[in-house]
Amino acid sequence: MKKLGKIILWLIGIFLVLEILAITVGYFSKRIKPDTVLTLRLEGEIEEQGPTDPLASLLAGPQMTVTDIVEALDRARRDSRITGLEIRVGESTLGIANIQEIRQKIREFNRAGKFSVAYLEFGTNQSYYLASACQTVVLLPTSLLHVRGFMTSTTFLRGTFDKLGVYPDFYHIGEYKNASDVYTQKKYTAAHRKADQVLLDDLFHQYLESVAEVRSMKAEEVQSLLAKGPYTAPEALDSKLIDRAAYADEARDMVNQKNHGNDTRLSASDYLDRTERGGQSKLAVIFATGAILPGRSSDGPFGEPVMGSDTIAEQFKRAREDSSIKAVILRVDSPGGVTFPSEVIRRELILTKRKKPVVVSMSDVAASGGYWIAMSANKIVAEPGTITGSIGVFAGKLNILGLYAKLGLTKDHITTTENSSIDWPFQNFTPAQRASILKYMDDIYANFLKGVAEGRHMDVAAVDKIAQGRVWTGERAKQLGLVDELGGLDTAVASAKKLADIPADERVNLVYLPPPKPLLERIRELFSGVGIFSRGPALTRWLERLEALARVPAWTLLPAVPEVQ
């Protein structure tokens, strides 16, 4: 442990030296030259916000987030020193709604009279969708444009559970609330298939319309082309899906030619460091990212973000008590989670709303608990492809008695009341326990419907009709009244400015919450029980936490809508 501590201190020392050097160099290199091309590399992990884990923050260094990318494009559009955009597009974690938000900013950049070039080494549905927003799309000559239409699939665990002797005893409210189907079924139910098919068709339609617009085609033409994919680079060129088949160095020369022979480039991260959004009025942007659980926000055992109700509640309190902040934007990217912390967050939103406007900006996913925390805002903004809705509830447990029997283990128990064993994972729910669970679920669903009805100014019966655990795209959710406007964070900012009586043409200062932790605080956390110095292995601690959460009586989680391919 002492040796490990020395290594950590050595790394921290190097980091501090590099930070000082970076600040020194940055001080003398803030000037941006005329005729500069902004460069972006969009691939790999691209998150809504940076890592919350102190060690990850230290070792990974600054990372471009979705918000950073959008902000850089927005600033560059107005900056006369930036003449063009060069994007290297690979496979990334960006969802369709994230891509739509970035595409919109690229399109606005183009309309400002500036050029844009996207380079693909290999094109898929996702990477091509993003690249197609640029005026010029270049593909590696020996590569493929692997566009071929959309599909989705779901892995069902019921067969595995049967082999293991595990029985999934789950219940749900809402015909389409299929979050537990992956445990209880072996294939799509009719409701599950119907919901996924409509969702997939809506997203595909948005894809076709967007590509058709920039490629000067009709949506039917793009659909016909995608039905015949994938394409070799020459075939993609003949089909007018790309503009040129070329190597990276040739694409770079092309950018230089468009930039009047000038080779000056600046990365988006460096550009953000050298410029400021500015503005006198402040708007708070609270990041609500990940599965919703009680406690503090953190990173999960595999790096996935977890939204802690305590953390988000603190940010709302901070924003509403700061008189310099005129409005609050809740940036939601969450599939939902446990019910009661979701209600804790919604309560803080309501308290804040009484003092200043609150606008929700939905990112890639804002469903179930993710919609619960949003439903009472003054305004809700979503991208056309945002996964939203899923107003429903499920609850249950896994009975692992059969698994124990296969291992030669036996269990016995003593109780004082019949419901004493309601959470015990070695028996199914008794009729009385089932009745208790269903009663609680009915109460949660009724409160969900009531909250949506009040927040969206709708009749409860009308909400119930479009609820039932059904997942919608943001575009369809707007038609149903669950969303007010379509757009990204900038649309939410415009809406918040209007509600706060800030002139539309006035630039504002966005205050991102939770704020980045200072370096010294990160170091202190490393040595005070956080990260690798915590008690016990991280995965073990998370398994213990998940076992505890298994006893939570009800969840509001996104149905099993898998990633679109």
Strand, helix or coil for residue 38: strand
How much is the pLDDT for 18? 60
Residue among 105, 114, 177, 478 flagged as catalytic:
177
Amino acid at 120: L
The DSSP bridge pattern shows strands 358-367 and 298-299 to be unpaired
How much is the pLDDT for 521? 56
Tens of pLDDT, residues 48-65: 876 555 455 455 555 789
How much is the pLDDT for 154? 87
Tens of pLDDT, residues 89-101: 999 999 999 999 9
The structure tokens listed for 446 are: 């009724």
> What angle do helix axes 2-28 and 519-526 make, rounded to 10 degrees?
170
- How far apart are the C-alpha atoms of 355 and 365, rounded to whole Å? 27
DSSP state letter for 28: H
pLDDT band at residue 534, thresholds of 50, 70 and 90? very low
How much is the pLDDT for 63? 75
328 contacts 284 by C-beta, under 8 angstroms: yes
Could you give the residue ranges of the DSSP H alpha helices within 166-247? Answer: 181-184, 190-214, 219-227, 233-238
pLDDT band at residue 180, thresholds of 50, 70 and 90? confident
pLDDT band at residue 532, thresholds of 50, 70 and 90? very low
The residue-averaged pLDDT of 199-216 equals 96
The DSSP bridge pattern shows strands 358-367 and 471-473 to be unpaired
How much is the pLDDT for 540? 52
Output the CA–CA distances (angstroms, integers) from residue 335 to 216, 306, 474, 562, in the order listed. 36, 11, 14, 12
The structure tokens listed for 3 are: 């040796």
How much is the pLDDT for 560? 55
CB-facing half-sphere around the CA of 242: CA atoms within 13 A: 34
- How far apart are the C-alpha atoms of 442 and 448, rounded to whole Å? 10
Mean of the per-residue pLDDT values of the chain = 87
Tens of pLDDT, residues 5-41: 566 667 666 666 666 665 555 544 568 899 999 999 9
How much is the pLDDT for 383? 97
How much is the pLDDT for 31? 84
- With a pLDDT cut of 70, the percent of the chain lying above it is 83
Q: CB within 8 A of 214, min separation 6: which ones?
A: 107, 132, 133
DSSP string, 357-387: -EEEEEEEEEETHHHHTTTTSSEEEE-TT-E
DSSP state letter for 431: H
More confident residue, 400 or 139: 139
Based on its alpha-carbon atoms, the radius of gyration of the chain, rounded to whole angstroms, reads 25
How much is the pLDDT for 537? 46
Tens of pLDDT, residues 417-458: 998 998 888 899 999 999 999 999 999 999 999 999 999 999
How much is the pLDDT for 17? 62
List, in order of start, the domains of the chain with CATH numbers. Answer: 34-148+229-274 (3.90.226.10), 281-557 (3.90.226.10)
Residue among 281, 368, 376, 390 flagged as catalytic:
368
Catalytic residue status for 177: yes
The structure tokens listed for 77 are: 């559009």
More confident residue, 538 or 162: 162
- With a pLDDT cut of 90, the percent of the chain lying above it is 68
How much is the pLDDT for 533? 35
164 contacts 402 by C-beta, under 8 angstroms: yes
Q: Given the structure tokens 């990974």, which residue do they identify?
A: 60
- How far apart are the C-alpha atoms of 330 and 60, rounded to whole Å? 26
- Give the 3-state secondary structure of 288-304: EECEEECCCCEECCCCC
Catalytic residue status for 163: no
Q: Which of 324, 337, 285 is nearest to 495 (CA)?
A: 285
The residue-averaged pLDDT of 177-185 equals 88
Amino acid at 21: L
Strand, helix or coil for residue 418: helix
pLDDT band at residue 500, thresholds of 50, 70 and 90? very high
